[in-house]
Amino acid sequence: MSKTILITGAGSGFGKGAALALAARGHHVIATTETSEQANALTSEAPQLQVEKVDITNSSDVAKISAWDIDVLINNAGYGQTGPMSDIPDDRLRKVFEVNVFGTVAATQAALPRMAAKGSGRIIIMSSIAGVLAAPGFGPYAMTKHALEAMGKAMRAELAPQGIDVCLINPAPYNTGFNDRMANSMWEWFDDSSINAPAAEIHKMIGQMVTTNQMDPIEVVNRLVELVEAETTTENNFVPENIRELLNL
């Protein structure tokens, strides 16, 4: 049965892939992007999508969500930031929380009243393997994904009595470009004057590990399609399924 699905952060990566795949399967997809430029580009490329500019950190943009009668919300929009916790600038730490945590909560709260009114709906939260693992240098990002784990688990229990399903998806590193940008982000401000400068080589090594041999994002896209169409979901959905065993988690 065709569903109306809103995807945040659909201008690239998992969000864009899922939007195209779900539309091809007959669903009505509202693909949202952070900027108007991204929206225009996606509209030109994929006229089968309803493309809207929704910056989830902008309250006026987020208010648009409450007007759409959606069956599934995929909270995919995210921002990556790396660097040692002892040195991370306050503004950079706040930004990653504003997007990944507060923006995701705001988008979800905007979608929920209509779902509650009809007694059905699904919220899919883009977590990460970083939601259960915090590697050196990736603390700022992992903090936000740990927060989303708490959000998703609490809301799954809170909203089930209203017929609303909440689940999390936890990808390992996939080749969308996101991880590469995130791994490089700390070098925009980190320098040898840092108290953590002796650990710089460790951060470089971890960054290289995360960005080497990344997997094909179609695996995550396919899992998102499955979660949208499934009768029921599990709380966490790791992609690939054996990633926790591979990392001894």
Instruction: Give the active site residues.
Output: 141
C-alpha span between 11 and 75 (Å, rounded): 13
C-alpha span between 201 and 190 (Å, rounded): 12
| Cα distance between the two ends of the chain | 37
Assign 8 to helix, strand or coil: coil
Strand partners, 52: 32
> Which amino acid, 169?
I
- Nearest alpha-carbon partner for 93 in 141, 151, 146: 141
CA separation, residue 36 to residues 40, 43, 53 (Å): 6, 10, 6
Query: Residue 166 belongs to what H/E stretch?
Result: strand 164-171
Contacts of 157 (CB under 8 A, 6+ apart): none
